[in-house]
A and B are shown apart, each in its own frame.
Chain A
Amino acid sequence: DAGVIQSPRHEVTEMGQEVTLRCKPISGHNSLFWYRQTMMRGLELLIYFNNNVPIDDSGMPEDRFSAKMPNASFSTLKIQPSEPRDSAVYFCASSFGTTFFSPLHFGNGTRLTVT
């Protein structure tokens, strides 16, 4: 079990640039979650997918944020254009079923810095 794999581990970009964060969930898991962690707001759920379908994207802060899950083994979170206030650690997590039944397994996160 390789765990949830996120890339890149660190990303530094300039304001206005497009940023793409990537996630490979654990094989066999059918739910995938994107979280954002900041000092001010803690851990916030941005969006989650079940069987590759977005179920709840109410946490996505603005239209600048978009997420896709083209297949069961890959998801992206895109920010376009990026802003300094998007600086945070972005976590991807996966589970089998839903969190109600099974715990989330988190990746190591991507630390995004927008200058």
Chain B
Amino acid sequence: AQTVTQSQPEMSVQEAETVTLSCTYDTSESDYYLFWYKQPPSRQMILVIRQEAYKQQNATENRFSVNFQKAAKSFSLKISDSQLGDAAMYFCAYTGTASKLTFGTGTRLQVTL
């Protein structure tokens, strides 16, 4: 079974600074997708970014980018120029051929002034 591990329960970053959230996963599949979701206090799950495993190029979405290391099974999220609105829970997630999205336990990001 696939597993997703987020080893940082909480992280803190100052406004305008850069922060990296870690995620590792375990799978025997060669083709899969990885996602980062954001859950603000409103509790809605919002897709931040996704990465296809067969694409070597790291995905980027404005201030959000990933560092995808397929051999190491690592998928970290970098948030540049952090804003107060970035404060939320961030979940790393995996989906493969079984088409089930498996989530990590989440990292709570605090943004300070």
Listed in ascending order, the chain A residues whose CB lies under 8 Å from chain B are 31, 33, 42-43, 45, 48, 55-56, 89, 91, 93, 98-100, 103-109, 111
Contacts and interface: CB of A to CB of B under 8 A. Distances in A.
Interface residues of B, number: 24
Contacts of A105: 47
Interface string B66-81: 0000000000000000
Nearest to B32: A100
B45 A91 contact: yes
Contact of B45 (A55, A56, A99, A106): A106
Contacts of B30: none
A99 B47 CA distance: 12
B44 A106 contact: yes
A99 B99 contact: yes
A99 B44 contact: no
B33 A99 contact: yes
B100 A45 contact: yes
A43 B91 contact: yes
Given A99-B95, A100-B97, A42 B103 contact: yes
Given A91-B45, A99-B100, A106-B46, 11 more contacts: A31-B99, A43-B91, A45-B102, A48-B99, A48-B100, A56-B98, A89-B43, A93-B45, A99-B99, A100-B96, A108-B44
A105 B32 CA distance: 18
Contacts of B96: 100
Contacts of B50: 103
B16 interface: no
Contacts of A43: 91, 103
Contacts of A111: 43
5 contacts: A31-B99, A98-B99, A99-B99, A103-B35, A103-B47
Contacts of A104: 45, 47, 101
Contact of A33 (B43, B46, B101, B105): B101
